[in-house]
Amino acid sequence: MQHYVMEREGYYQDVPVDVTIERFSSGPSVVKAFASGDVDVALFGITPAMVLVDKGIQASVLAANSRNGFKIMGTTELADLYDQEGAATFDRFEEDHDRTVRFGVPPDGSVPDIVLRYWIRADLDIGDVESAINTSKVPPAKAVQTIQSGDIDATIIQEPFATIIGRDDGFGDLAWSGNILDNHPVTVLFANQQVLDDSDVAVSLVEQHVAATELILDSPDAAAAHAASVIGSGVSEDLAETAMDSKASDFLSDPHAITEQAATMGEFVAKIGNIEQPVATENLFAFDPYDAIQE
């Protein structure tokens, strides 16, 4: 959301270097581009940032973008069953249908992947994802079509796609990620060492990011219009405005506000083997640029 506002409001023009924008079709593709040095700054998930730092990439989080940003959604039958049975839903479903729940899942290591695994393994305590549900990789943009076609029973999805699914009477919410991992971070502003070493650029990027967050919070309809104009793909202003009212739309800039839950997520990411060990806060975050604009 911050990027949509920064682009449409012209905030990037106030950064003291030329800024070139490149959109990527998937999270893994932008992570790969960042790792190879093709981009200097990226807005993507906190867990890929952990993986890159764990692998020795010299980069840090400059600002938070969002938190609590996913809904676990399924057919009305599955949602009603979950309301009644809770963790026993998946065994009950298998008894009734002679198969496990078919779940559309995001790329391995992404934030929604980690949240889903935490929900299944730590929150519900029903085993690993691979044993509890039948998974298939479904990109977020295709989740709506895939669940509406009946190819999957459930998915974990962000806005505005959650709002699209929720408008159909055949589907409902099972869980909100903010109740699974309270105040967990989702996406961040992540910059390489070259940017970090240029304090004027780093501070300016964060300054524009904070301005964008303030616009999002003060004028959500305007921010929604910016988002709709950039996203396209059938996302109307009306849909974007509705999605902005969702509890899965929670935007911020302060990196200090996400450190505690980033550490909790890091411990789980290490536990399931995506990183060697949890990344220390001082290695993952660069607080100085944000703190400089608060003085």
The Cα 48–Cα 31 span in angstroms is 7
Per-residue pLDDT of the chain (295 residues; tens, 9 = 90+): 999 999 999 999 999 999 999 998 778 889 999 999 999 999 999 999 999 999 999 999 999 999 999 999 999 999 999 999 999 999 999 999 999 999 999 888 899 999 999 999 999 999 999 999 999 999 888 899 999 999 999 999 999 999 999 999 999 999 999 999 999 999 999 999 999 999 999 999 999 999 999 999 999 999 999 998 887 666 788 989 999 999 999 999 999 999 999 999 999 999 999 999 999 999 999 999 999 999 7
* Domains of the chain with CATH codes: 2-68+187-294 (3.40.190.10), 71-180 (3.40.190.10)
| pTM (predicted TM-score) | 0.93
Distances (CA, A) of 141 to 10, 74, 155, 281: 27, 16, 12, 32
Concatenated DSSP letters of 224-267: HHHHHHHH-TT--HHHHHHHHTSTT--B---GGGGHHHHHHHHH
Location of structure tokens 């909100």: 176
